[in-house]
């Protein structure tokens, strides 16, 4: 009897559909990492351990109430902002970028925290002013987005800065930002492109030029895009079969267990495999939007919607860069790429979704 009660206690905060889709994508990940790493059991074990840790943290977050998440939003944002300032002043420099902060017992990347802290704070901000929402509240929200985004751009880390800004924009959009304002922002962004271009780092400008014509430097800057598109194309409709990808196992694909793992998957499982993976992603996104729609508070709707659309952005940006339609940025394929930090941050977000969904059930009963 106590085993049954324990099982019910563990399962209580978990959304079964969301967990099912996460587990299915994780199984795809384990199989792909095993092949991409030249059958390395150490890599698979590392990925499996990361998933176990991430799922445990997801469960802990799911046990929190949305009111507790709201209370945590301002201190988490301020803490993350202080860490980003610490990175700018004292951060470790790796490959010309200052993105990591050494805190003695470990090196952390505070920008990962801001992917969740920004939508949390904005959802808290709009929930507080729900009854008298005005344009100045959107201006304040834009400032709250801009501060961490600029600090991350300074590191420089264009990919993460785009994801943070995107997460914040989704909250603005879901909160009811006027279409006229969004159109004005788009026009202003296009007009500012020459200025932005002049302030970009050389390697960032080169990434865009390489996207337009990767053959201008086929053995250098364009190598990643050329090899990944060859791999995806050579997979055809049905793929070459698991562990049979020639581009993969002849070491043509760079970063094949992390940023470019989608090229490995596409080569070995083909178009049909890609469609199945995209379908699983769409199921996760659809479930997240259902949870957002059914949330009992504005905070829950905004946060759930922003986290779900951010997950869509991660997948779209990674697949787009591997397929050669977007510039190469350091964005892993969510839940599939090897690495623990990104997996933990995504599943923390899913834990928040489950917390919001659980609150809806309690409110209805």
Q: Residue 242 in contact with residue 206, Cβ under 8 Å?
A: no
DSSP string, 42-68: HHHHHHHHHHHHHHHHHHHHHTS-HHH
The values of phi and psi at residue 102, to 5°, are -90, 115
Q: What is the pLDDT of residue 364?
A: 43
Q: Per-10-residue mean pLDDT for the chain, 365 residues long?
A: 66 84 94 89 90 92 91 93 87 72 73 90 91 84 90 83 90 84 76 71 69 68 82 88 84 84 92 94 95 91 94 92 82 87 89 88 45
> Structural domain tally of the chain?
1
Q: Within 10 Å of residue 92's Cβ, how many Cβ atoms?
A: 12
Alpha-carbon distance 295 to 299, whole Å?
8
Range of the domain at 334: 15-364
Per the domain annotation, does 2 fall within a domain?
no
pLDDT for position 71:
93
3 part of a folded domain: no
**Is 93 inside any structural domain?**
yes
Report the alpha-carbon distance of residue 124 to residue 300 in Å, rounded. Answer: 9
Who contacts 287 (Cβ-Cβ below 8 Å, separation ≥6)?
15, 17, 18, 21
In tens, the pLDDT along 104-142 reads: 666 778 888 899 999 999 999 999 888 787 888 888 888
Query: What CA–CA distance (Å, rounded) separates 211 from 208?
Result: 5
Cα distance between residue 165 and residue 159, in whole Å: 10
DSSP codes, 134-178: -HHHHHHHHHHHHHHHHHHHTTT-HHHHHHHHHHHHHHHHHTT--
- Residue 320 to residue 285: CA distance in whole angstroms: 18
Token digits of residue 152: 């991350």
Distance CA 247, CA 268 (A): 10
Neighbour count for residue 222 (Cβ, 10 Å): 20
How far is 184 from 172, CA to CA, in rounded Å?
14
Domain-embedded: residue 7: no
């Amino acid at each position: 009897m106590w085993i049954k009660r324990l099982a019910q206690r563990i399962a209580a905060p978990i959304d079964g559909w969301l967990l099912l889709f996460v587990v299915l994508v994780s199984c795809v990940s384990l199989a792909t990492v095993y092949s991409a790493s030249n059958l390395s059991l150490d890599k698979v074990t590392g990925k499996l351990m990361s998933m176990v840790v991430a799922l445990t943290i997801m469960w802990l977050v799911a046990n929190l109430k949305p009111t507790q998440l709201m209370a945590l939003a301002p201190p988490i944002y301020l803490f993350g902002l202080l860490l980003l300032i610490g990175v700018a002043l004292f951060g470790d420099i790796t490959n010309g970028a200052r993105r990591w902060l050494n805190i003695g017992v470990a090196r952390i990347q505070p920008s990962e925290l801001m992917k969740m802290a920004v939508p949390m704070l904005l959802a808290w901000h709009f929930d507080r002013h729900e009854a008298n929402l005005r344009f100045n509240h959107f201006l304040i929200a834009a400032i709250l987005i801009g501060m961490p985004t600029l600090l991350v751009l300074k590191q420089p880390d264009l990919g993460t800065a785009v994801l943070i800004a995107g997460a914040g924009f989704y909250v603005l959009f879901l909160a009811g930002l006027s279409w006229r304002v969004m159109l004005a922002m788009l026009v202003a962004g296009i007009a500012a492109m020459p200025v932005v271009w002049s302030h970009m780092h050389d390697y960032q400008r080169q990434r865009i030029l390489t996207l337009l014509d990767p053959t201008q430097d086929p053995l250098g800057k364009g190598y990643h895009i050329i090899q990944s598109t060859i791999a995806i194309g050579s997979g055809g409709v049905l793929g070459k079969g698991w562990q049979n990808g020639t581009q993969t196992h002849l070491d043509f694909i760079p970063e094949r267990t992390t940023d470019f793992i989608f090229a490995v998957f596409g080569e070995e499982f083909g178009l049909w495999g890609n469609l199945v993976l995209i379908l699983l992603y769409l199921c996760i996104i659809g479930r997240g939007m259902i949870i957002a729609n059914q949330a009992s508070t504005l905070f829950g709707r905004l946060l759930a919607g922003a986290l779900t659309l951010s997950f869509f952005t991660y997948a779209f940006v990674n697949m787009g860069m591997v397929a050669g339609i977007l510039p190469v940025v350091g964005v892993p394929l969510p839940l599939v790429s090897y690495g623990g930090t990104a997996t933990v941050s995504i599943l923390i977000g899913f834990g928040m979704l489950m917390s919001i969904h659980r609150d809806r059930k309690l409110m209805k009963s």
